Structure 1
């Protein structure tokens, strides 16, 4: 059974390949690739049949099938690493991995980060040729570093303009053109300075967040009553990923069984996502957001203003000590317990009004065990509900969807009367 060897080629073309890769190309009887990839190898395989792959992926798949059926030594040349936003994964998924061998080249993304002397293991890497601009922009909002393959439709200047229009102005930008070729060029500037510039189509855009710059929230017009996207809330560094996820937040608020006049405690409020949505569900009540970190207290107030809620009070201090001065709550959410989970839950339960609901969100198995044991003791013989919430969100890749899983989390809930209402 014939196999196609997929060879990655850089901007330095045939001369930049290893000797083994050059030998594969010289011996090929069919050479497939995009116009630019075929141009990169020049006339190295002069006797081979050259097949320019069609931009339509279905047609390109048929061309590859034909090569597998008719060629003895078919080779497909692909720029950079064929398995990094390249064609290799698409072909392997549809024709079978056993029909291919892959010889990667250093990708332009790797070269871009190397030229800038930035690590890339913690970067958000994507291509605007594969994903909608709006989706990418909102993912950039909360990133530390970004590596972006731009596209003809969305060149760096347009991306910079779109970021600024959404208030995402806290990145230093670099555009790396023609990496590995004699006319390589790197431009590092503020996003605003990129707006009027033009770049070669072969470019990588790298964004690095400026030190200690918090996210800017997305506009709140038309936002939901609760379960808003995580990006709707300004969040602090380095704790951004600790926000109660939208799906978990929606479950927790439902379990709190809020009424329009409810008094709510949000213990360990962070940037205030639960507090603000609780305030919207209890517009005639009051929400007390307990948080010890001054930076987060400022974010709670900023987010409350952005969501136009005036019934959230940011309470500086640590639970359980600060709880004694607060009004009796009808519902309590505990989201930041640390090592004091037992003392916090006991004090919260003592202060909770009869018929009130207590909901706890913990992220570790140890925290789950402790919270469950304590709540069972406090609730007596009544039921303590426990849920594991494991969210995976779909991400478009080529013409398919893959799922990116968030860390699992646990939600516990109990009623002080011992009655759990569905």
Structure 2
């Protein structure tokens, strides 16, 4: 008894048998030779026989085994065998499935085969080649091969071991080691040994089917690295490919299999830059998934394709198609550098997922321009905001991926505007492709540059200086005029209470000269600072200080809070240095935008202190802290140093308390 009966004679037959064995489906496999039996796994779920069966024997086997399904995966040219299997299935009322060889839906040729209609065409083709040829088409047309130049040396004729045949061949000039008289059938091993011994590059055969040892010849030629010249055209059949057959079995028996997903970094697009491991994973995959450009660059003809890069949609597709065992998801560059691999790894965690590294464009690019990258900052501004100005200002070497045609020009203009127009640019586009382009020059020479939408840029700034590790820019460093400014010591304490992170989004309400805004921006290189100021003179000073300190992540907003805050992105932190009597409404809006916001308020007037204290009580804040800071600064009077007191500052700090909603 078995659930499936497989007539195997091809690689696909072996693979479907292995699939059934893995799924623990009781299967019987009929192969034509003992060699075919050795290729299959030994298992309690797999029984194997290697006798050649005629129609009657096939019918008896089906009646005895009662399979619910018969899979015919015999060789395409074993037409008589396929006919017998079909007839036996009809008579026993057993479902029949034809499993095609790879490519059989269009053409059953393989990469090492040349098809011709006749021996004459074979001779014509061989006349254009060089290298030894093993001819197995028989003695009746052997005379036609004498048209080939140097045929006595090139052609090795294998014919029947009959005296009249040998004499006929000898009369044509085939003799000695070039005349092989043997009686078949010949095993794959003997064919392979003969091809290697004679150093043949070609094997000529007719489509003789199983009895003529056709399949053994094809396999031997493949293993010996020879090209098969096949007399006869490929057959066209209807049936299922391997994956379609697996899908049928999955539906029929409710099968699931352990899908193995490779997240493959394919480099920049040129297959020559793929790693050997990546090429192997791609070649072995039954299904390729990725963007169209990436899939087309590595696709093999017999692979199924899903053009998709959304991780959730990929998961849904794989859930619906358990027939795929080996899947490769193609990702540009390297899987660890701003890649979709991170999300895919999590989304597909129920499967067996592995990541295969690829060559990222920044690494390739740095090698191309002869620069090391171990001491460079490597980042990406492709599809996301990145404060490149701050990185360039504070690091001598910066590498980034850019994602728009005008990105290089925009960066060049910004740097030039900040007085850094002489830093060096290297720009790479279409990396690894035949039209690869790399240009270099000073930043100011790229202000009108328009390039490819995707590029890599390397910026070299030999005058870069790192940031101090603490707050405290000197008061004298700021442009001030007559606009009030939060003093250095007060800024240090206030910002310490604020507790910024490098990616914080901050509001500075009542920014004045922008001393707090600038210090915020310097401490949040991956974040954003909004300086809100209503006075025109102060706004101009803000812009000048932004320019002086090159804080490109600082946005100056002219207007009155809270109205000026409404359209801004959600803040994580807010500093209030001036509220124009609107403190409560400002705080309410901040809490509305982010109930967990961190707030610091600086007050000088007692009325402001009282209002801030009241707000801390009536609004949902926690971790409320109030300190008073008095700073005295020495002033030289004659030969003496006198301590001169600054205005005492009251500093409130608090965190929004997210109110829990009552359960209904």
- Provide the TM-score with structure 1 as the length reference: 0.50
Native 8 Å contact 1:78 1:86 kept in 2 = yes
Which residue is 2:116 aligned to? none
Q: Separation in 2 of the partners of 1:109 and 1:28?
A: 28
1:32 to 289, 304, 307: 289
CA distance in 2, matches of 1:326, 1:187: 62
Q: Does 1:230 align with 2:522?
A: yes
Alpha-carbon displacement from aligned partner over 1:215-237 (angstroms, at most 9, x marks no partner): 899997544289543377869xx
Q: Say whether residues 1:327 and 2:641 are aligned partners.
A: yes
RCO higher in 1 or 2 (8 Å CA, sep ≥ 6)? 1
1:21-420 maps to which residues of 2 (within 5 A)?
21-41=278-298, 44-54=299-309, 59-67=310-318, 70=321, 71-96=324-349, 99-133=352-386, 135-152=387-404, 155-209=407-461, 211-212=462-463, 222-224=514-516, 227-230=519-522, 258-259=629-630, 262-263=632-633, 327=641, 329=643
Residue 2 of structure 1 deviates from its aligned partner by 1.5
1:2, 1:68 within 8 Å by CA — same for their partners in 2?
Answer: no
For residues 421 and 325 of structure 2, the distance between their equivalents in structure 1, rounded to whole angstroms, comes to 54
Task: Give the number of equivalent residue pairs.
Answer: 255
- Match of residue 259 from structure 2: 2
Separation of aligned partners in 2, 1:28 and 1:259: 71
Task: Tell me the SS of whatever aligns to 2:399.
Answer: strand
Would you say the 8 A contact 2:406–2:451 is kept in 1?
no
- Displacement of 1:130 in angstroms is 4.2
DSSP 3-state at the match of 1:4: strand
How far apart are 1:46 and its partner, in Å?
Answer: 1.9
Are the structure 2 counterparts of residues 215 and 170 from structure 1 closer, same or farther at C-alpha, using a change threshold of 3 Å?
Answer: farther
- State the 1:204 CA deviation: 0.5
Moved over 4 A (4+): 213-221, 231-235, 254-260, 328-331
Does the CA-based 8 Å contact 1:28-1:45 persist in structure 2? Answer: no
Deviation at 1:65, TM superposition (A): 4.3
Residue by residue over 1:311-344, the C-alpha shift from the partner in whole angstroms, topping out at 9 and shown as x without a partner, is: xxxxxxxxxxxxxx8825579xxxxxxxxxxxxx
Contact between 1:5 and 1:102, CA under 8 Å: does it hold in 2? yes
CA contact (8 A) 2:395 2:465 kept: no
Measured in 2, the distance between the counterparts of 1:86 and 1:225 equals: 34
How has the CA–CA distance of structure 1 residues 16 and 131 changed in structure 2, closer, same or farther, with 3 Å as cutoff? closer
CA contact (8 A) 2:394 2:464 kept: no
Aligned CA distance change for structure 1 residues 68 and 161 (closer, same or farther; 3 Å)? farther
* Pairwise CA distance, 1:125: 1.9
Deviation at 1:10, TM superposition (A): 2.8
Instruction: Confirm or deny: 8 A CA contact 1:9 1:40 kept in the other structure.
Output: no
d(CA) in 2 for partners of 1:223 and 1:123? Answer: 30
Structure showing greater Rg: 2
Give the superposition deviation at 1:63.
1.9
User: Shift in Å at residue 147 of structure 1?
Assistant: 0.9
Moved more, 89-98 or 173-182: 89-98
Provide the rounded CA distance (Å) in 2 between the counterparts of 1:77 and 1:147. Answer: 24
Q: CA deviation at 1:185?
A: 1.9
Deviation at 1:132, TM superposition (A): 1.6
**8 Å contact from structure 2 (residues 412, 444) kept in 1:** yes
Of 171-180 and 152-161, more deviation after overlay is shown by 152-161
Which consecutive residues of structure 2, in runs of 5 or more, have no partner in the other structure? Answer: 1-257, 468-472, 480-512, 524-545, 551-574, 576-599, 601-624, 649-664
1:144 Cα deviation from its structure 2 partner: 2.0
